[in-house]
Structure 1
């Protein structure tokens, strides 16, 4: 009985450490993307073309389903449209909303395809019927990681929300025209950093409610 409780505690701590590790990794990647937005844009654009080429190869050589593969290619072409305003994104943009819908639908359709083990009705009582070869777990996992999840996940980590702020004093000094009115400038707020900082702020607030003394961080919490 005690050993079972220890295993539950170990699983809980393992899950917590894994979650914190993933969050820390995403936070670090988002900082790199925010600093090197142009190289990231070029990398993602080439990666989209690479995945499209891979899907075409699977269609030709591995006889993947035509309609489903064409839909996956069309989804990646749609992802490519998000690169026009990269790294800024508007949550009300039809292209962004349609990309999210395609990601969910892509996952569902491919999962249904790889999980289909039913024998066609005309072959159910045929002793000579040879069922189609099923993909192994590593093959399915690799396909989903590269052809289904990689581009949407990379876009989510890379995209930023635009926030207009007043120019700083240093920027005002650089203007040659003293009569020029200060113009709002656009800054990037990475979505992953916003989400992680908001979660951290919620946890700090919850701990204070229970009487824990939590010091405020040195940086201001980002919010959209």
Structure 2
């Protein structure tokens, strides 16, 4: 009996994790749709979030978190705002974008190793700090950035010329392509 319940519990965890991942993906897709509709409001929202994250950093420093890491993380968040010069259009090979990506990874590992060495912080506090102080601004920028049409192979041409594609939608379009190609091959009216 315990074997069956153990297997059922494992299956439940796997299905629950898959549902959570699917829900997050759908949520990001909806957010990217909204961002594409309202780029000016999105820019203001992300810029405001940078300042709110600065406040969270200061409060975390007052709570006993490493001061130099807080300052480095705040500087990284302000470097991300350099992407606003051409917002929401970006060049995927621009030094600002590549530097922002490197800073995001570096910032993550800086905090990760800090928390590994200082196990006095509860897991919930670590997750909250990592989400708000490390990943909130880069994730918001990633979901909202629209690549320049000519730089991606997925760029589409409409009647009025170029059509901007959201970066997140471009990734989903890449996964849908084989299905669309199969549908056209099976369709009797594809000729």
Class of the TM-score when normalised by the shorter of the 2 chains: 0.7 to 0.9
Instruction: Return 138-147 or 33-42, whichever deviates more.
Output: 138-147
Using a 3 Å threshold, how does the CA distance of structure 1 residues 117 and 48 change in structure 2: closer, same or farther?
closer
* 1:33-182 mapped onto 2 (5 Å cutoff): 33-59=35-61, 61-117=62-118, 134-163=120-149, 168=159
Greater Rg over alpha carbons, structure: 1
State the secondary structure of the residue aligned to 1:45. helix
| Contact 2:157-2:163 at 8 Å conserved across structures | no
For residues 19 and 167 of structure 1, what CA distance do their matches in structure 2 show?
33
Instruction: Give the number of aligned pairs.
Output: 177
C-alpha deviation, 1:95, in angstroms: 0.9
- Superimposed CA distance per residue, residues 60-89 of structure 1 (whole angstroms, 9 cap, x where no aligned partner): x23432321221111011011111111111
Please provide the CA RMSD for this pair.
2.5
For residues 15 and 53 of structure 1, what CA distance do their matches in structure 2 show?
32
Structure 1: 4+ residue segments shifted above 4 A: 164-167
What residue number does 1:200 align with? 176
For residues 56 and 14 of structure 1, what CA distance do their matches in structure 2 show?
36
Q: Unaligned regions of 5+ residues in structure 1, if any?
A: 119-133, 172-184, 209-213, 217-224
> Taking structure 1 as the reference length, what is the TM-score of the superposition?
0.69
State the secondary structure of the residue aligned to 1:189. coil
Instruction: Report the structure, 1 or 2, having the larger helix content.
Output: 2
